[in-house]
Each structure stands twice: as structure tokens, then as C-alpha cells.
Amino acid sequence: MLQGARVVLGVTGGIAAYKSIEVCRRLVDAGAHVQPVLTKGAGRFVGETTFSALASEPVRNSLWDEDDPIPHTTLGQGADVIVVAPATARLLADYASGRSNDLLTATLIATRAPVVICPAMHTEMWEHPAVQDNLAVLRRRGVHVVDPESGRLAGGDVGHGRLADPARIVAAVDAVLTEPDLAGVNVLVTAGGTREAIDPVRFIGNRSSGKQGHAIAEVAARRGATVTLVTTSDQPVTGPIEVISVVSAAEMHEAVASRSAQADVVVMSAAVADFRPVSVAGEKIKKSGGIPEIRLEPTVDILAELGGNKRAGQILVGFAAETTDVAANAQSKLAAKNADLLVANDVSAPSVGFEHDTNEVVIYGAAGTATEVALTTKVGVAERVLDAVLDLRLQSPAP
């Protein structure tokens, strides 16, 4: 986990160095203590002032620090993880051969902390046998490599070698620091708000963005679980997650019903519509036809169905987005749906719930527990929800 982790962020001299500014910001936002180390070449592409302002400490770039006679050892021993983004072909060669000619390479050799390398270079350089050989050496030594992506490169052409997206880099660093305490656990997560068609243009929906469900899926994957995500959202995911895209409550029900029996944990964080139109118009309804009458019928209560069919050892987590009487409504839903945990929030509160990047919840347990999670990121909420799931699994191991 990145919260409280000491991260050395190495930046080398490549055009992709500008993206490392976003990596720095995301690491700090996740709670990490970030110490940037820039090479001389990096300084030709990005300014030290920017990193010093965004990071937890000012930039360091010299082996000859008057205040610290052995800065590389201090950095290497104090780091929980070192990430280099971007990593140039030269950095890869120096690191693989053990050559330490600046603060960054010396720190890499002077550490026993895990190292994450994020290469970025032109396609011809990336595909060169020497570069691939150096990467193979580093991988054999246990270095974690976040491979580059395909896309537009500095010269205007398109090819492989583009630095990985900052979100993907931060997720990789987080995964290195995260204990795989959910290894071997199959987790099924739902996310987003369903859309119930009125005609080919209009629908009944809600404001759920799917951010909380996606955060739960990604954190579960980082903690070692095998994750399936059934979602209405098209936001990208990081990590080895099977994504099942759906639109309506009926599609979500079908996707969940066909997979729930194999799941050890089911997290129903989606905002599933309670009602849908009885009939869907085949063509767009025109105003000229007058005010239409839309008759509704209930959708399948997926959470209740899962609670009724829950097998021994399976853990079911429900969600309740409320605006009044949050505790009473959540506890009533917890019992009625036969869930093990119910995550409730007041979506009328500032910065809470739908569309926000933050959330504030209470996790109610069937045993009468109530765990308050103060306003934090949705990733932070995901961690707490999965901690509660893990506690239940430890109390009652699956048969």
C-alpha cells in the first residue's frame, strides 16, 4: 500500500519525463512520501522546481551532497520502493551492468528495496537486442518492469515505446508494496449505474459513475484476488481483471447469476435500477404525440437473490446509497438481503458518493458491527471494505 510508503522517484533524460510529474502527483495523492531524484539529462526536459513543489522533499541530483556524505546509501536504505519513470536505454544498460555514475544509478545499486522500472524510448531503440537483453537481466534479478505502450512518439510517428500511463505506473508501484492477502480468492464485483431503455434514445438511469466499484476491483486484484468486474462504466482498469460490460439491470443480473456460484466474495457496488419500463418503444418518442405514459415494472433484486442462494463460506457485500436515515435503512437492507456486509453512505453529503473521487461510508456487519470510514479516496474505501471481507474470511474460513 502506498499510504505512508517512502518512494524514491527516479527521472531520467527522455521526452517522457514530463509524464513523471503526473506520476509524482499521483503518488503523493495516494499518501506516499516521495523523494524525487533527477539525472542531469532529466533536467534538460523538466524543471526541478516543479518536482520540489509537488513531492514530499526537494529534488536531489548529486552524489556530492554537503549535508549527506553518502546520499545514495541514505536513499537506498530508506526507500520502501524505487520507481524510475521514464527509464532510458542508457539507464537500463548502466543498471544491468552495475555502473553507477550518478546519484540515481548509485541509489539503485545501494538498495534492497523493490525496484520498478518504466522504460520509454523510440520503437527502434526499444526493439534493439541490447535493450531487450538488459531488460531480461533485470527481470531475472527481480526488477519489476512496466512495459511501454504503443502510441504517438516524440518524432510524430506511431509505435511501441511510449511511457506507460501514469495511472498504470502508480498501480504497479502499489502492487509491489501490497501484501497478496487475497491470493486464491475469486472476487466478483459489480459497478456503475444501469440504464433502462424507454426508447432508442432515452433511458431511466442514475448518477453512479462506477468509480467505487472499479476501485474495489483494482484493489482486490492488487491484493492477489482473481477478479471479475461486471460494469456499466467504460472507464479503463489496471491489473489482471476480467471485465464484463453490461447496460441494463437484466444484463447485469444475467452476468452475475452465471458467475456468482464460482465466487468466494461478491461485492454488489453497482447502482441497479429498481424499476424499468414495461415496454420499450421501437422508435424515438416524439413530442408531437403528447406526453407519453410510461408504465414501470420491478427489476430482479440481484442482491436479494444472491443472499437467498448464498453458499457456505461465500461472503456477500451490498451497498446502500442513502439521503436520510442512513443507519436504519442500511441495517434493514443488510438483514433483508442476507448480506454479510453492507456499505452505506449519505450521497447528499459534500464530496461523497456519486461521481466524486472521494467517499465516506459506514461498513455494517451482520454480527452488529459498524465501522466508520472518514472521507477519503475511493481507493481508501476499497481497502477498508476488503479489509472487512478478509476479517470475515479469517473468522470463518471457507470449507
Active site residues: 206
Q: Enter the DSSP assignment of 321.
A: E
Contact 143, 2 (CB under 8 A): no
How distant is the alpha carbon of residue 221 from its chain centre? 9
Question: Which residues does 53 contact at the CB level (< 8 Å), separation at least 6?
Answer: none
Strands 341-346 and 241-245: unpaired
Contact 98, 109 (CB under 8 A): yes
For helices 89-97 and 129-140, the axis angle rounded to 10 degrees is 50
Q: What is the distance between the alpha carbons of residues 286 and 276, in angstroms, rounded to a whole number?
A: 20
92, burial (CB in 10 Å: exposed 0-12, middle 13-18, buried 19+): buried
In this structure, the number of other CB atoms found within 10 A of the CB of residue 147 comes to 13
Least Cα distance to 317 among 383, 365, 255 occurs for 365
Q: Enter the DSSP assignment of 286.
A: P
* Residues paired with 116 in a beta bridge: 83, 144
- Outline where DSSP puts E strands in the chain: 6-11, 33-38, 81-87, 115-119, 144-145, 149-152, 158-162, 186-191, 196-197, 203-204, 226-231, 241-245, 265-268, 275-277, 296-298, 315-322, 341-346, 358-365, 370-377
Q: What is the distance between the alpha carbons of residues 263 and 274, in angstroms, rounded to a whole number?
A: 24
Contact 204, 277 (CB under 8 A): yes
